[in-house]
Amino acid sequence: MFADDRFRDYQPASLRKDFISGITVGIVAIPLGMAFAMASGVKPEYGIYTTIIAGLIVSLLGGSRYQIAGPTGAFIPILLAVVLQYGYEDLLIAGLMAGVMLVAMSFFKLGNLVHFIPRSVTIGFTTGIAVIIFTGQLGNFFGLDLDSHEYFHQNMAEFFSHLGVVNGYSILTAVIGLLVIIFVPRIFPRVPVLLVGLIIPTIFAALLFPGQVETVGTAYGGIPQSLPKLQFPEITWAKIGTLFTPALVIAALGAIESLLSAVVADGMTGDRHNSNRELFGQGIANIVAPLFGGIPATGAIARTATNIKSGAVSPLSGVIHSVFVLLTLLLLAPYASYIPLAAMAPLLMLVAWNMSGYKSFKQILQLRTSDSLVLAVTFLLTVFINLTVAVQVGLLLAVLSFVKKKSEQLQIDDPVDIQRQRQESLDLTAHFQMKKFTIRGPLFFGTAQSFEHSLMASIRRMPRVILLDMQYVTMIDATGEDKLSLIIDNIKKAGSTVLISGLPDWGLDLFKKSGLYEKIGASSFFPDEASARESFFKKQETIESAARESFQRRKKSAE
């Protein structure tokens, strides 16, 4: 199906670079996989399983040389909502269904459609997700035992109602982790700060105040030192119907996130990814991961960027990253039980801050345009309702904004009277009259009504001929063609003739297919205004000449 040139020009020296970058990304991926899983309402080991399986499959089957896949922060609100409403088992089914949808998207070559999603929508829901992730970690930061709710305002009310029982040891642990994450990169830029940000506060908590803070072990039990056995979830038609919408949202967000990550990788390396192949790889990964207990995964921008900065040359670095995480699980899993949840909080808060895109959010908001409205609405709906509604409404507003902007581009120049005065005085009309209208811009459903109103309002007195100069028309859809047909019918009923000049070839093809070309008549189409005028006046002169001769004959007969 896809030709793989991602290993093109691979050299023995490249293996060392891939090995180093794979280990580096693996070290980063372990704490993130655990943290994202817990924030999504499932056990931390499920994030590790996803990192191993999805990372391996996307590296082997995906469309980018450098993509690193796994659980991501963008999925947290969606997965948490599914877990709260349906449970973990149904989350696996929704993830598998999303994988099938992604594979279908690849076969239908929908990979490029993601580029048509407005930036105001993506920044809006990304910033909204960041707010949800950040505030969702306040409970762990302050050591509070909070129940998770479906809506943001419910979770915030829960948080504020428990502020009187904060755990000082948890706050101290979280602050230590936060300081490590902030200052270690400035002093030791090559140190894997996320891993260190877990290890140091864990050591502090274990040595200075053991048993005073909740840990991964006390909250979730020990992490198994192996991958789970292959197990198919129980899928029924009823569950497919119930989980279709969540699965569709997971698939859509997975496609957006993975392809954006691949675009970022292209920008950093000058390479070009295969969008449809990337969707295929992501789809297969999300089909297989749930069979081993893994949660939905997608391309991870931060890990992909780390992979590139660490010197990755090929997808082999992603394979090595997965193998490293697997070996770590087999050898060191018991030690993860000692990690305090408060140490995880700063890590996820940092992820939320980095993904928020606050600079872009502020920039678009300051434009005070329709994009600002789309951004604000998408953001607020993401935070206070859910991502599904936010994206639907955001896209709808973006489309309406686009239609409005396009409708404002249509212009009909003031009519120009074109006439040729006769030299002799006859009993016939004193001149031949033609009005020319120049149409500029798109003629589609958003402009069809205003086009009819503007054109007919400009014709105060119906001339013999109306010339429509359409050389500047940029598009015509079915609604625009139908409206033009009705206008021409009305003009003909008034006894006038319609000529069309300058219509591009694609417009002629459209008119021929719709039958409008035949209705107007082939002789009424001209390549430019000059030829239309010349043809019309020649025809009128012929008519006039015949009329003159007839007049002279009648005059002689009368004499």
Query: Does 406 map to a domain?
Result: no
Q: In whole angstroms, what is the distance from residue 551 CA to residue 539 CA?
A: 18
3-state helix, strand, coil in the chain (%, to 5): 70, 10, 25
* Interatomic CA distance for residues 261 and 64, integer angstroms: 10
Section 25-33 average pLDDT: 89
Q: Would residue 3 count as lying in a domain?
A: no
What is the extent of the structural domain holding 261?
A: 12-334+343-398
Residues 155, 293, single domain; the answer is: yes
Rounded CA separation 493/506 (Å): 28
- For residues 390 and 430, membership in a common domain is answered with no
Amino acid, res. 282:
Q
Q: Are strands 69-70 and 298-299 parallel, antiparallel or unpaired?
A: antiparallel
pLDDT digits (tens, 9 = 90+) for 189-203: 888 888 888 899 999
Indicate whether 350 and 442 sit together in one domain. no
Side chain identity, residue 293:
G
**Percentage of the chain exceeding pLDDT 90:** 39
Q: Is residue 6 part of a domain?
A: no
State the average pLDDT over residues 272-279: 91
pTM across the whole model: 0.78
Ramachandran category for residue 499: left, alpha or beta (phi over 0 → left; psi -120 to 50 → alpha) = beta
Instruction: Tell me: do 478 and 390 sit in the same domain.
Output: no
Task: Give the whole-angstrom CA distance, residue 23 versus residue 1.
Answer: 31
pLDDT at 431: 44
DSSP string, 75-86: GHHHHHHHHHHH
- Map residue 433 onto helix, strand or coil: strand
CA distance 127 to 238: 34
Q: Does 12 or 545 have the greater pLDDT score?
A: 12
Residues 420, 424, 429: CA angle, nearest 5 degrees = 60
Give alpha helix (H) positions in 87-192. 88-107, 119-136, 138-141, 152-161, 168-187
423 has pLDDT over 60: no
Q: Are residues 489 and 365 in the same domain?
A: no
Residues with Cβ within 8 Å of residue 387, at least 6 apart in sequence: 77, 78, 125, 128, 129, 249, 253
Same domain, 512 and 367: no
Query: Is residue 519 pLDDT above 50, yes or no?
Result: yes
Please say which residue of 367, 398, 429 terminates a domain: 398
pLDDT of amino acid 179 = 95
Which of these three, 398, 419, 440, is where a domain ends? 398
Which among 267, 265, 318, 322 has a CA at the least distance from the CA of 18? Answer: 318
Stretch among 87-96, 151-160, 399-408 having the lowest mean pLDDT: 399-408
> Is 136 in the same domain as 229?
yes
Which pLDDT band, with edges at 50, 70 and 90, does 381 fall under? very high
- Provide the β-strand partners of residue 442: 475
Q: Which residue type sits at 147?
A: D
Identify whether residues 330 and 449 lie together within a single domain: no
Could you read off the pLDDT of 119-149 as tens digits, one per residue?
898 899 889 999 998 998 999 999 998 888 8
Q: Do 107 and 17 reside in the same domain of the chain?
A: yes
pLDDT at position 183 over 60: yes
Cβ–Cβ under 8 Å, residues 150 and 388: no
**Amino acid in the structure at residue 54:** A
Alpha helices in 408-497 (DSSP H): 448-458, 478-493
The encoded tokens of residue 146 equal 């909070």
pLDDT over 90 (residue 291): yes
Q: At 151, is the pLDDT very low, low, confident or very high (cuts 50, 70, 90)?
A: confident
What is the rounded distance in angstroms from the CA atom of residue 168 to the CA atom of residue 433? 90
The answer to whether residue 204 is domain-embedded is: yes
Residue with the bigger pLDDT between 464 and 240: it is 240
Q: Is residue 313 part of a domain?
A: yes
Indicate the DSSP class of residue 496.
-
CATH assignment of the domain containing 512 = 3.30.750.24
Do 430 and 382 fall into the same domain?
no
Q: What is the DSSP letter of 222?
A: P
Boundary residue ending a domain (398, 419, 444): 398
Task: Tell me what pLDDT residue 269 has.
Answer: 85
Position 297 in a domain: yes
Do 125 and 189 fall into the same domain? yes
My answer on whether 23 and 104 are in the same domain is yes
Phi, psi (rounded to 5 degrees) for 437: -120, 125
User: What is each CA distance from 272 to 105, 234, 261, 275, 303, in whole angstroms?
Assistant: 19, 39, 12, 9, 18
Residue 157 lies in a domain: yes
Tokens describing residue 114: 């993601």
**pLDDT exceeds cutoff 70 at 559:** no
Given a cut of 90, whether residue 281 has pLDDT beyond it is yes
Q: Residue 343 burial (CB < 10 Å; 0-12/13-18/19+)?
A: buried
Residue 536 counted as domain residue: yes
Q: Say how far apart CA 532 and CA 538 lie, in whole Å.
A: 10
Number of domains present in the structure of the chain? 2
